[in-house]
Structure 1
Amino acid sequence: MPRVHAAVPPATSVFLPWGTSHLTVLTLTVLGAIGLVELARRGDARTVRASGLVLAGALALVTLGYQVVAFDPAHPGTTLPLQLSDLAPYAAAWAVVSGHRWATALTYYWGLTLSVQALLTPALGGGDFPAPSFLVFFADHVLVVWIAVLLTWGLRRHPTWHDYRFALLATVCWAVPAQVVNVLAGANYGYLDHKPETASLLDLLGPWPWYLLAEAALVVGVWALITLPWVRPPAGSGRSWSPRRRSSARSASPPPGPADDPAASPPSPPHGRSG
């Protein structure tokens, strides 16, 4: 979502990364994720389905409501819903409602990497809890992470290499028009033109434009790593990555025929004269 620079009421303190409110949100995120997995594994199907729909509905309403209120035609460079975090909530909500694989794939890769990174290094200006900017920002990201966890570990909808390739392609398809808008409107959607003002992982990846290349390589590698556990054969299954060797029986000598079977050989004639 666009960086929020909301006016801070006199009674509200300014949000500080890794302050009390931030740590509380991170703790609740972890506890909620664990609870959802347990619910999915132990609860009945109707309860799990209802819980997922509640999360999806809340996420869609919060995201859409914020985007409608925040949009300002006079400032398209900061109020258009063109961040990946503006799109991930809709993918997550649709994954729950429809079960479509493409939506589930985007929720997994975007939610468990980009949304998590946003939670750890939030680009959030304005007031601390309970300021509306604080509530909307964290609700958007926490709910996406929860849905990703519910789908993956609770409902066991695991990604494949096809999903991995699709998520990479979808991300590229987002980046191209986002950069066009950046050029036309002087914006910075996706932080494609410069780093966020707050501390982030991008600070470790060098200056522009090199951090974009490093970020792309990091995404390709990390997404491959989080795909690997779901597609590798289980331990002890006897399967391996290399093609199976031909059975040794095929290269061995053929099975014995009648000529090699003593029981099938005719008896030798008796010695001496025949009567």
Structure 2
Amino acid sequence: MTSPYFSLFLTGEPFRLFSPSHLITLIMVLCLVVLTYLFRKKLQAPANRFATRYVLAGILLLSEVCYQLWHVYTESWTAAYTLPLQLCSVTLLLSAIMLMTRSYGLYEITFFAGIGGAMQALLTPELFYPFPHFRFVHFFVAHAGIVLACLYMTWVEGYRPTVRSIWKTMGFLNLLLFIALFVNNATGGNYLFVSRKPDNPSLIDFLGPYPWYIVSLEVVALALFFLLYMPFIRGQQQTKKVGRDFSV
């Protein structure tokens, strides 16, 4: 008999947006973010950097492996829904590689697409299983891990995004969009939600009918990316000014 914590079928109430378990989980994620910032200097020690990067990468990869195994275990694996082609699945894998390789090129993409996508997912999850089901735990561990990976590279490794990074990310997302459309056509899936809106309430509900909400999503993504970039503007302006001063 399948454990209720791993069962494919719900026997009780489904996940509710902003339920006590959802709010407590969001507070826990926020605490982890704050702790990463407060202990950023301690984490900069060489041994701590290595351990933190690989532990975070291991958690991200393990979460994806466990997710795929759960679908196999519950006999629900299907190319239409479980390929790692949702935005957060893609940025999760890229974040793990970024942590292990310290790739700045991947950081440029994961900072905007990862944080932007994971934040939206944490606030309005496309989730049906409540706490303490495996899928609830997996969902929040995976998405929180993406955010923490990007913030770690920013606060501990000292990486910084640029305006050019925003346009690289937009180009990457549009390439991914065409791949998702092709896969959706072939499998009947809805990767990246570009074939129809998600079933659960989400921010997409406010962006118009299909297919026009895809254009709205592009505008919202661009605005969100510039918003995420704003904390770095002053520092980069000061860097340019110092460079000009030294060149005089």
| TM-score w.r.t. length of structure 1 | 0.77
Equivalent pairs, count:
237
Structure-1 residue corresponding to 2:53: 52
- Which of 188, 205, 211 aligns to 1:186? It is 188
Task: Report deviation, 1:145.
Answer: 0.9
Candidates 165, 169, 172, aligned match of 2:171: 169
Letter of the 1:170 partner, please give it: F
* Runs of 4+ displaced beyond 3 Å: 71-75, 231-239
User: Is the 8 Å Cα contact of residues 88 and 143 (structure 2) preserved in structure 1?
Assistant: yes
The CA deviation string for residues 17-70 of structure 1, in whole angstroms up to 9 with x for no partner, is 101111111001110011112222234232233122111111111112312442
The answer to which structure has the higher helix fraction is: 2
Pairing partner for 2:122 from 103, 119, 123:
119
Letter in 1 for 2:61: A
Indicate yes or no: 2:81 matched with 1:82: no
Cα RMSD (Å) of the superposition? 2.7
CA gap of 1:235–1:217, structure 2 versus 1, over 3 A, is closer
Label 1:237 to 1:78 Cα distance change in 2 as closer, same or farther (>3 A). Answer: closer
Contact 2:126/2:200 (8 A) holds in 1 = yes
Q: Which residue of 1 aligns with 2:162?
A: 160
Instruction: Return the alpha-carbon distance in structure 1 between the equivalents of residues 77 and 134 of structure 2.
Output: 22
Identity %: 26
1:18 aligns with 2:21: no
Equivalent-residue separation in structure 2 for 1:65 and 1:238 (angstroms): 46
Please list the CA deviations of residues 126-174 of structure 1 after superposition, one character each: whole Å capped at 9, or x if unmatched.
2x21111111111110111111111112332111123222211111111
- Give the alignment's TM-score, normalised by structure 2: 0.85
In the superposition, relative to structure 1, how do residues 120 and 46 fare at CA in structure 2: closer, same or farther (>3 Å)?
same
Which of 204, 209, 212 in structure 2 is aligned with 1:207? 209
Matches within 5 A, 1:1-275: 6-8=8-10, 10=11, 13-43=13-43, 44-70=45-71, 75-126=78-129, 128-232=130-234, 239=241
| SS of corresponding position for 1:77 | coil
Q: Is the 8 A contact 1:195 1:203 kept in 2?
A: yes
Cα gap change, 1:74/1:35 in structure 2, threshold over 3 Å: closer, same or farther?
A: closer
> 5+ residue gaps in structure 2?
1-5
The one-letter code sitting in structure 1 at the alignment partner of 2:20 is: T
- 1:24 is matched by which residue type in structure 2? I
Question: What is the deviation of 1:225?
Answer: 3.1
Does structure 2 conserve the Cα–Cα contact (< 8 Å) formed by 1:39 and 1:48? no
Shift of 1:237: 7.8
**Is contact 1:92–1:148 with CA below 8 Å preserved after alignment?**
yes
Question: Structure 1 residues 5 and 36 mapped into 2: Cα distance closer, same or farther (>3 Å)?
Answer: same
184 and 54 in structure 1: CA distance in 2 versus 1, 3 angstrom threshold: same
The gaps in structure 1 that reach 5 residues or longer are 248-275
The code of the aligned residue for 1:65 comes to C
Q: Is the 8 A contact 1:115 1:144 kept in 2?
A: yes
- Cα distance in 2 between the residues matched to 1:121 and 1:5: 23
2:16 counterpart letter in structure 1: L
